[in-house]
Amino acid sequence: MRELLDLTRELADKEVRPRAEAAERDSVFPREVFRVLGRSGLLGLPYAERWGGGGQPYEVYLQVVEELARAWLAVGLGVSVHTLACLPVAALRHRRAAGPVAAGHARR
């Protein structure tokens, strides 16, 4: 966990914070920041590793979001929305992988 938070702080300091003021002023969406966060594995932290996630508990995920939000609130919020929006996709994959029981169908 410590290494993950150190990585997050480093990215916040080097990639996120330096872009915030100009992007906010110019109303520019931080696409490159999200690409960096995605390549770093920070956009799927609470999801299972077998689906490409980080397999992290929500407490760790929330600490990462807090660190990013300190650097640029819009990015922290964006990571949160991204993660919540992907939840139905991850849940559907889980149900399909686990079979009919996980999907709510009883086996006889």
User: What mean pLDDT, rounded, does the chain reach?
Assistant: 87
Distance (Å, whole) CA 101 – CA 14: 46
- C-alpha angle 104/60/94, rounded to 5°? 20
pLDDT of residue 94: 65
Residues 55-65 have a mean pLDDT of 96
Whether pLDDT at 15 is above 80: yes
pLDDT tens for 84-94 read 888 777 777 66
Number of C-beta neighbours around residue 100 at 10 A: 11
pLDDT of residue 102: 40
pLDDT of residue 107: 43
Residues 73-78 have a mean pLDDT of 97
Give this prediction's pTM. 0.81
